[in-house]
Structure 1
Amino acid sequence: MNIERLAGILRQAAKDEIMPRFRRLDDGDIRSKTNAFDLVTEADENAERVITAAINAHSPNTVVIGEEAVAARPGLLDGQYEDRTVIYVDPVDGTYNFAAGLPLFAVMAAVVENGESVAGVIYDPLGDDFLMTERGCGTWQVFPDGRRVRQRFAEAAPIEQMGGLASVSYLPDAVRSQVLGNLAKVKMFANYRCAGHEYRMAAGGHVHFLMYNKLMPWDHVAGALMMREAGAHVARFDGSEYKPSHTGGGLLVAPDQESWDELRHAVFTV
């Protein structure tokens, strides 16, 4: 599917199904999935349904895998799609923020062909602009009027001067304590509970690193490709290449291989 068409589908779904519900959700419109911080709302479900239908209308042979569809049918992730085009969809990335009325959420889609990431879109419904990438073409901030700004990851910096975004929620307890202590070695770290906006910040050169442990494809396939196309070094915690099929093993993003190695050693060494 044409990436501009995919971006338009995400934007329309946000205007029709997400923004009319922002700060207007009733108690019955918000439900917990696995815990009190893992939520789903009417906006998530309706937007995913609309996005899926629109993609299927334009590309009936494309496999669409949305976060909420997998929540209902986990086996969807186990399908064999190596010879198919797959689009992973996160209808509201940052649902916890959205449900709390915080203006920090995004709509994301990633295109995978033959098991490889080839394109991604992250749409900000509040700013009404996109982060877009296609493999080999760079990462761009794209505005509704057609203006495009190329994105570049931050330049390397010493560990003590690094600022970044780190999610530690899904690390094992003992490892989490170790990592949190070691993150005191960097200048600053935060977590916005919205991978979409974290990737947007990083693409614009505003942080020196990103760190995640749980790797669901709708959260990270688009963003990881964007980081590579913006010049960053992207790898799992063990240094191996991140693939769309990976759901574990962690993800660490840094300006270059040397910075990545230094950060990996500093954060994960006792």
Structure 2
Amino acid sequence: MIEQNSSSIIGSKSFTAVAINCAAKAGEWIATKLGNYAQLEQKSSSQDLVTEVDKGSERLIRKLIATHFPTHAFLGEEGVTAGAAAAIEALDAVKDQEYVWIVDPIDGTTNFVHGFPFFCVSIALAHHGEVIVGVVYDPIKDELFVAEKGKGAYVHGKLMQVSKEADLNNSLIATGFPADTTHALPRNMKGLQHLIPQVRNVRVAGSAALHLAYVAAGRLSGFWEIGLNSWDMAAGVLLVKESGGTVTDVSGEPYHLGVRNVLASNGNIHVALQQQLQSADK
């Protein structure tokens, strides 16, 4: 799918191949558990859920990665206490590591719990803080989105390109409803209310990683959300960038792993979209 070079191989093990293998194995197992989970717990709120399947998926991925790259750091959602402060602290703890795997074992757990078929496995690898591999796997549609820095992004083995819309009024945008109902959700809702009359339509499907993959594939013109964590978007951000899109925070500042308020687009509408969100904030 993607040509290898010496910068992406350690001991003849391709970073990208390992990420794909982990996502595929975890996704296959997750699909067998759809409608068949045993334990449901709330984390920060009733909108922030976790099952034993999330935890099992993360254990599986972590074990597989450690088999190939035992010295690499690992940052997974289920290994971090709920809440923004804990997520920021967890990222800070690994930021100086040479290689960090950033994993969301099920992005879209609420969808998984309800049997709504829009969730995925998201796996990224950062090198000195820069994402160099991103894999998003949708086990229900059997869609594998793969990006390697500088080598493009692919789905079904075909090169992806972002959409061509040049105006907001012709654009299909996506967002999410943050689990943080005190700060992030009200801010996101202000943006949503402001944007709806400006765009063709808005979709809210419940997985930031898949929304970003859809921007990369040209199925969405743009996506934004307030209060995300690094594991929600690291892989998806690389997909968008390698498909020719643009990713910043909502204020227009460059993306980095610490960004929590993300804005991704096909590039053509980015400035206009960012300005409308800033206007909503005011």
TM-score between the two structures when normalised by the length of structure 1: 0.89
CA distance in 1, matches of 2:43, 2:74: 21
Asked if 1 retains the 8 angstrom alpha-carbon contact of 2:105 and 2:121, the reply is yes
The answer for the alignment partner of 1:145 in structure 2 is none
The answer for the alignment partner of 1:13 in structure 2 is 26
Equivalent in 120, 136, 155 of residue 150 of structure 2? 136
CA distance in 1, matches of 2:165, 2:118: 27
The answer for the alignment partner of 1:264 in structure 2 is 274
Q: Indicate how the Cα distance of structure 1 residues 151 and 71 shifts in structure 2: closer, same or farther if over 3 A, else same.
A: same
Q: Indicate how the Cα distance of structure 1 residues 114 and 176 shifts in structure 2: closer, same or farther if over 3 A, else same.
A: closer
Equivalent in 225, 228, 244 of residue 215 of structure 1? 228
Deviating beyond 6 angstroms after TM superposition, the runs of 4 or more aligned structure 1 residues are none
Q: Indicate how the Cα distance of structure 1 residues 175 and 102 shifts in structure 2: closer, same or farther if over 3 A, else same.
A: closer
Equivalent in 174, 180, 193 of residue 165 of structure 1? 174
The sequence identity of aligned pairs, in percent, is 26
Q: Deviations over 1:59-94 (max 9, x none)?
A: 101111110001377543231442420001111110
Asked if 2 retains the 8 angstrom alpha-carbon contact of 1:111 and 1:120, the reply is yes
CA distance in 1, matches of 2:274, 2:176: 15
Equivalent in 247, 250, 265 of residue 254 of structure 1? 265
Equivalent in 93, 100, 109 of residue 107 of structure 2? 93
The answer for the alignment partner of 1:23 in structure 2 is 35
Paired AA for residue 226 in structure 2: N
Post-superposition offset of 1:177: 4.8
What are the ranges of 5 or more consecutive residues in structure 2 without an aligned counterpart?
1-13
CA distance in 2, matches of 1:174, 1:9: 36
Asked if 2 retains the 8 angstrom alpha-carbon contact of 1:201 and 1:207, the reply is yes
Post-superposition offset of 1:174: 5.8
Asked if 1 retains the 8 angstrom alpha-carbon contact of 2:223 and 2:265, the reply is yes
CA distance in 2, matches of 1:163, 1:40: 30
Question: Aligned with 1:196: secondary structure?
Answer: helix
Q: Indicate how the Cα distance of structure 1 residues 175 and 8 shifts in structure 2: closer, same or farther if over 3 A, else same.
A: closer
What are the ranges of 5 or more consecutive residues in structure 1 without an aligned counterpart?
143-147
CA distance in 2, matches of 1:267, 1:24: 40
Question: Aligned with 2:32: secondary structure?
Answer: helix
CA RMSD of aligned residues (A): 1.9
Count of equivalent residues: 259
